[in-house]
Amino acid sequence: MTHAADPLSQPLALQCGQVLPNRLMRSALSEALGDRSSGAPTGKLLALYERWSLGGYGLVVTGNIMVDQRHRGEPGNVVVEDERHLPELSRWSKSFQDNTDAPLWAQINHPGRQAPTLINSAQPVAPSAVKANIAVIAGQPRELRPEEIEEILDRYATTAAVLETAGFNGVQLHAAHGYLITQFLSPLSNLRTDEWGGDSERRRRFLIEAVRRVRAKVSPSFGVGVKLNSADFQRGGFTEDESREVVRALADEAVDLVEISGGSYESPAMMGSAQAESTKAREAYFLDYAQTVREHAGSVPLAVTGGFRTKTAMAEAVASGACDIVGLGRPAITAPESGSALLQNTAQRLPSYQIQAGLRPVISKVTNVKQLDSMLDLQWHTQQMERIGRGKDPRLDRTWWQTMVKMLLTFGPAAFQRKRA
């Protein structure tokens, strides 16, 4: 494929005026390299982004940044509640922007009921007091009061404004993977009958309101995007029809990009666990859905993330108009320079590592193996990011049980710190 004919090499202009130099997005990857107690970015995080700045991506979105220190999704999340970490945040954005014209967006998030009780002393909060079915991690949440909902919405806006001051080029609201915004969207977790629940329009109100409040606090040239689930892959949950309605509603807001993913930690479709073999063979997990949502998105560009591994599949997805941007997660960890490799045709297929637990007959007796697999897969990749942050290359022969031991060593002290707090 010649460079000129390569759909992935084409720039893309967003409504905010930013121009992405190509169609490859490094999707949000939670780095867990924030300071464990203060939530400030660390030197390792800066080193990791310096490496990714040379990766050739057209857009890079950071791992999810917490809007509330009391409710963290995992140990090592960066937290932005106010300007207290402004110097470190500014150094972080600069570590990336010094080497590339590609924009750097920050993903902002509240975990709601997916905040592990092991690491947070505050009780998790959620639209309704419905516990997530996630082994070990999820505790019993309490229902948010209306004034608390307002306060959280303002937090998204404040966090976005601070990130703009710190030099980031945009934010992406995390409305996927079972976190708070998804909890509002899903009828399984949102049983409210006030203005925040009761029907699909009121369930999506939290997301639309968060987008509006963020937009109102940042400049018009600052990017605002949303990562949305195609569905939550649970019976009685958020459906593709509802997701399409959300995309249609977002198209009326000043949104620059909608990224499609799916699933949650209860049903980890985003990591490829819910897909039929036929879909996996076609690589991209959510492309069929993206095709059906294209017209609802109007002029808002669509990104699709999950499963893309070969250049042929990525180029076809963009050339066919199914999506405008291809999102890459895990391959950008095992091969940090994936963007350049694809664009310069030095790689036609990205390396793919999907980690699974061994001893399955034994483990399946004590816990949900699919959830454990997705947790191990996440942790294996998280541990590789930490290596890159130390200036090393990923260690691809790391086994599932080494990953498990390190995971226990990570969560153990975090739980201990929580108890002391």
Ligand X SMILES: Cc1cc2nc3c(=O)[nH]c(=O)nc-3n(C[C@H](O)[C@H](O)[C@H](O)COP(=O)(O)O)c2cc1C
Q: Which residues bind ligand X (CB under 6 A)?
A: 27-30, 63-64, 107, 174, 176-177, 227, 261, 270, 305-308, 328-331, 378, 381-382
Rounded to a whole number of angstroms, the minimum distance from the CB of residue 28 to ligand X is 3
Q: CA 414, CA 59: separation in Å to the nearest integer? A: 32
CB of 198 to ligand X, least distance (A): 27
For ligand X, which is the closer residue by CB, 127 or 268? 268
Residue placing its CB nearer to ligand X in the complex, 128 or 211: 211
| Least Cβ distance, residue 404 to ligand X (angstroms) | 15
**Sequence-distant contacts of 190-195: CB under 8 A, at least 24 apart:** 190/127, 190/128, 191/127, 191/128, 191/130, 192/127, 192/128, 192/143, 194/146, 195/146
Q: How far is the CB of 107 from ligand X (least distance, A)?
A: 5
Pairing of strands 170-175, 104-109: parallel
Query: Is the C-alpha dihedral spanning 232, 349, 62, 216 positive or negative?
Result: negative
Separation of alpha carbons 29 and 31, rounded Å: 6
Render 210-230 in DSSP notation, one character per residue. HHHHHHHHS-TTSEEEEEEES
Residue with tokens 């310096």: 50
* C-beta closer to ligand X: residue 301 or 307: 307
List the Cα angle 225/227/230 in 5-degree steps: 135
Instruction: Give least dist CB 382 to ligand X, A.
Output: 5
115 contacts: CB under 8 Å, gap ≥ 6: 71, 72, 73, 122, 124
CA distance 251 to 273: 30
Q: How far is the CB of 273 from ligand X (least distance, A)?
A: 11
Contact between 125 and 112 under an 8 Å Cβ cutoff? The reply is: yes
C-beta of 180 vs 192, nearer to ligand X: 180
Nearer to ligand X, 107 or 403 (CB): 107
Two structure tokens written together for 285: 């997990």
Least Cβ distance, residue 356 to ligand X (angstroms) = 14
Q: Indicate the residue whose CB is closest to ligand X.
A: 329
CA distance 401 to 383: 13
Which C-beta is closer to ligand X: that of 53 or that of 230? 230
Closest CB to ligand X among residues 58, 307: 307
What share of residues in the chain are helix, strand, coil (percent, to 5)?
A: 40, 15, 45
Q: Which is nearer to ligand X, 56 or 63 (CB)?
A: 63
Give min distance, CB of 24 to ligand X, in A.
11
In degrees, to the nearest 5, what angle opens at C-alpha 394 toward C-alphas 356 and 269? 35
Q: For residues 106 and 128, which CB has a smaller minimum distance to ligand X in the complex?
A: 106
State the Rg of the chain over Cα.
20
- Cβ proximity to ligand X: between 128 and 169 the closer is 169
Residues with Cβ within 8 Å of residue 373, at least 6 apart in sequence: 268, 271, 273, 355, 356, 357
- In the complex, minimum distance from the CB of residue 74 to ligand X, in angstroms, rounded to a whole number: 9
Burial class (CB in 10 A: 0-12, 13-18, 19+), 390: exposed
- In the chain, what is the greatest distance between 2 CA atoms, to the nearest angstrom? 59
Q: Compute the least distance from the CB of residue 204 to ligand X, in Å.
A: 18
